[in-house]
A and B are shown apart, each in its own frame.
Chain A
Amino acid sequence: MLKIILPSIMLLPLTWFTNNKTLWTNTTCHSLMISLISLSLLHQDSTNSYNFSTTFFSDPLSTPLVILTTWLLPLMLLASQNHLSKEQENYKKMYISLLTLLQVFLIMTFTATELMLFYILFEATLIPTLIIITRWGNQTERLNAGLYFLFYTLIGSIPLLISLINFNNTFGTLNLVLLSLKQPALSQSWSNHILWLAFMLAFLVKMPLYGVHLWLPKAHVEAPIAGSMVLAAVLLKLGGYGMMRISILLDMVNKTMAYPFIMLSLWGMVMTSSICMRQTDLKSLIAYSSVSHMALVIVAVMIQTPWSFMGATALMIAHGLTSSLLFCLANSNYERTHSRTMMLAQGLQTILPLMGVWWMLGSLANLALPPSINLIGELLIITSSFSWSNLSILMMGMNMIMTAAYTFYMLISSQRGKLTNHTKFLPPTHTRESTIMSLHIIPIILISINPKLILGLP
């Protein structure tokens, strides 16, 4: 594991000592190399998990997430080049350092053995993200957005800290490898129910669950492009990953406590899809679509069957790549027209045809077109929730239709239609932008050929 973490930490001196002219080249290339190293995690020779040391381990659940995190950093750096080009050198380096620091924390979070280490790093990821949102965001509302983001997540995670410490005291260890060998049996008492809630609340807020999702549209919309990408692609998955790890501890209680949250997620899924169709702000539409997809993941994790876990991990990776791609596309629009309103940038397919290809592929991936991994994830989740309860297919079916509806709405209103005068002369697509889009699409296509990699079971 150190072979990934140490080079990531060394990216920090790299950004500060490098030549100003080659800042972006150096950091992007080195982070790409680190992401190639992370591919070595895929080779699992033990049946349970790939144990590096007593502190770090990786198993088929965390490996795809680590690879996604390391893959995302060069993409974030590529995407941020334009809006940072007018800043001072020191601020650019500060921005890159924050992104690198965030990546280090995230890698360590996903590979932590001890749940306490996981918790500390889980909280630590909030700080660079908060700084990125409030300092480099575009509108004045970013202060409000940062506040919502910070406090929603913090309030959710304080009970998690208390319950982790309590668990450590009563059970003796928080090491995931050990816990997988001996599961604690919790009885169905009131205090255990509250313990379950305390454990899960942090991750439910992070996912986000429908009732506590208000921070997400704000944070995603006000963040700069790299902030949006990392938030949508990785930070939301921290919640899913955490839930899957913690549910080992909460075996018996889960059967009763999960019920209201599955209901809330099913309902929230349909609700947020409907809100998407009314959105006028492009980034806000993609943010609500994230909430909708993550609601599916919550349902899957709560149901806790092998198929649903496979679907949850597949959907997390697929959604990470797709959502990040959509945010990059929205950002390419924003950099040209300086407005996020969808009405003002229409008919772009005529003048930016290559970007139209990426829009099409991204939208098709978003609405879970076969044979992409989005579909595999959603299909597994839908079938497992159908077996949990036959009636849930109604909600799931409605969600699939509405997902298709709002995705096409987004595609058609931005690509088709009549060009207005101020969009007739937009600058053409940069190679850098096409690179980012293709580097998002190519993993989706490659993994669709071998989805075993992300299904989360050995």
Chain B
Amino acid sequence: MVAVSEASYSLEGVGSAGRSAHSGECPVARADDHAGAGRPLVLKGAGLRSTMFRRVLQLGLGPGLLTRGLSTRRGVSTLDWDAKVSEFKKKIECILPGKPWETQLYDTSHLPPEQSDVVIIGGGIFGLSVAFWLKKLEKKQDAIRVLVVDQDHTYSQASSAGLSVGGIWQQFSMPENVRLSLFSVEFLRNINEYLAVVDAPPVDLRFNPSGCLLLASEKDAAALENNVKIQRQEGAKVCLMSPEQLQNKFPWVNTEGVALASYGMENEGWFDAWSLLQGLRRKVRSMGVLFCQGEVTRFITSSSCVEGPNGEEMVLKRIHKLHVKMDKSLEYQPVECAIVINAAGAWSGHIAKLAGIGKGPPGTLQGTKLPVEPRKRYVYLWHCPQGPGLETPLVADTSGVYFRREGLGSNYLGGCSPTEEEEPDPANLEVDHDFFQNKVWPHLAQRVPAFQTLKVQSAWAGYYDYNTFDQNGVVGPHPLVVNMYFATGFSGHGLQHALGVGRAVAEVVLEGEFKTINMSPFLFTRFYLEDKLQEYNIL
């Protein structure tokens, strides 16, 4: 159709920019002729002939120009040769040797590889620990391809990174937990031998071995004593203190309501979780593990029916591929994998649901879900110049409130686990300051009178990968989804167990059984068998 503008003699039609190089003499309005050649300009309205005449005059009448100006363009106008030729020339230039040709093809460097032997979902401390031990325990160099997928490479919501309190203690009631913590301490003490990377600075963990003090009231005293016996059997150095001994050692404590206290004398304290994470990341990268930022959205599985030991039908699933979706886009990459490790922390339950774990009638093995869900916990940082001072251990009160010293400037940080009824909504990481005022401060002030005059400096919130069943971790393979392994659910004390758990999972993947620390009580099947592993004190 025709669009003739009187006032502006601008070029119309496709690719007029290219053509202006030829017809540089004067701009002319032409008919955009799709149908073919030879149709004259169809103008509407009166004064048409005068417009045409004016235009002809302005063309500066050469004979060729006249015919070109007034007649319509043949079909060439829609093809835009000039732009195509220049694009083609650019492509040829890029393909010639010596020029980078990746710019012509779509850049896929942000996508994960199409195939990987092991895919670790979650790049926090558990994921990195499993990757590290897989690479360390493989018998030949570069035998296994490992890919770590994390949805946020800045770790802004990761529980084991900057948000973590970073404590480590051996005072557990399960002997495996004690062993895991002891192994972690040995790892942390020799961290620069484990995580050495050529030309990189050593890892500075800022490990404060100030110990951990657990206070028990009358009703918990017997359990505490029992636990200490188990811990001592495993080799932890813990001592029991009566209220008088407690008052002598830590004069700032108010021993009212305390029947017994257990104090770890060695290998307990806190460290900088962020530097551990960064050190691990650097080392794991140097060992050849690939990283990718993305979200796992789908598993492609195949199932087969087998007959169980009692003759019942079981449906076994095997994961063949998983889809990794890129951040803020719909693009995804299918990754073919042999083994999947679920180390997604607070989001492990969601990943397990994607893999079909828990789809079935409740009460059966198929219907047993992975009971890990995110729970929000607050950590508050306050300043108290009259506070306990440099000798403060990590103190866990009878009421569930805990605190520790932070730095050398009379700062302390701590928090409390809320009861089931007061669980905050885990949808976001907003801090509730009233929680401190109402639930934490009274107990703090009661236990340490100096804390009556504290001043809160800042607070943050983080997720626990909370195991709603028994608040202890899930480690090892799933009985029905045969190539998914778990390393998650440690509900707040994951950071200190991660290194040992990583080694345990690597042993199961590579050799088929737990070799150093036997983590079989932590297998998934305990959820089906209703076998709880209760921990006495959950911080």
Measured CB to CB, the residues of A under 8 A from B are: 138-140, 278, 280, 337-339, 341-344, 347, 418-422, 424-425, 427
Contact = CB atoms under 8 A, between A and B. Distances in A.
A280 B138 CA distance: 10
Interface in B310-355: 316, 318, 320, 336-339
B508 A138 contact: no
Contact of A139 (B115, B476, B485, B509): B115
Interface stretch (B3-11, B140-148, B267-275, B286-294): B140-148
A140 B113 CA distance: 8
30 contacts: A138-B336, A140-B113, A280-B140, A280-B142, A280-B143, A280-B144, A338-B115, A338-B320, A339-B115, A339-B339, A341-B117, A341-B143, A341-B144, A341-B338, A342-B143, A343-B143, A344-B144, A344-B339, A347-B512, A418-B512, A418-B513, A419-B512, A421-B476, A421-B482, A422-B318, A422-B483, A424-B482, A425-B316, A425-B318, A425-B482
Contacts of A425: 304, 306, 316, 318, 482
A425 B308 CA distance: 12
Nearest to B477: A421
Among all A-B residue pairs, the 4 with the closest Cβ atoms = A339-B338, A280-B143, A422-B483, A421-B477
B425 interface: no
Nearest to B483: A422
Contact of B338 (A337, A347, A418): A337
Contacts of A424: 482
Nearest to B316: A425
A140 B115 CA distance: 9
A280 to B, nearest CB: 4
B144 A343 contact: yes
B307 to A, nearest CB: 12
A179 to B, nearest CB: 42
A424 B479 CA distance: 10
Interface string B100-140: 00000000000001110100000000000000000000111
Contacts of B304: 425, 427
Interface string B166-201: 000000000000000000000000000000000000
A250 B409 CA distance: 90
Interface string B504-527: 000011111100000000000000
Contacts of A344: 117, 144, 338-339, 509
Contacts of A280: 140, 142-144
Nearest to A334: B338
B338 A343 contact: no
Given A343-B143, A344-B117, A338 B512 contact: no
Contact of B336 (A278, A338, A418): A338
Contacts, number: 70
A341 B140 CA distance: 11
Interface of B: 113-115, 117, 138-140, 142-145, 304, 306, 316, 318, 320, 336-339, 476-477, 482-483, 485, 508-513
B223 to A, nearest CB: 35
Nearest to B482: A425
Most buried by A among B144, B316, B508, B512: B512
A341 B145 contact: yes
Contacts of B511: 418, 420
Contacts of B508: 420-421
B115 A138 contact: yes
A338 B299 CA distance: 14
Contacts of A338: 115, 320, 336-338
Contact of B339 (A139, A342, A422): A422
Nearest to A281: B143
A66 to B, nearest CB: 37
Contacts of B144: 280, 341, 343-344
Nearest to A339: B338
A278 to B, nearest CB: 7
Given A418-B513, A420-B509, A425-B318, 5 more contacts: A344-B338, A420-B510, A422-B338, A422-B482, A427-B304
A442 B339 CA distance: 36
A278 B140 contact: yes
A422 B477 contact: yes
B116 to A, nearest CB: 9
Contacts of B138: 343
Contacts of B320: 338
B482 A139 contact: no
Contacts of B513: 418
Contacts of A341: 117, 143-145, 338
A425 to B, nearest CB: 5
A232 B230 CA distance: 61
A219 B476 CA distance: 37
Contacts of B316: 425
A427 B303 CA distance: 10
B261 to A, nearest CB: 43
A343 B510 contact: yes
A357 B510 CA distance: 24
A347 to B, nearest CB: 7
Contacts of A421: 476-477, 482-483, 485, 508, 512
Contacts of A347: 512
A339 B512 contact: no
B114 A139 contact: yes
Contacts of B509: 344, 420, 422
Nearest to B337: A338
A343 to B, nearest CB: 5
B505 to A, nearest CB: 11
A98 to B, nearest CB: 23
B236 to A, nearest CB: 31
A424 B320 CA distance: 16
A262 to B, nearest CB: 32
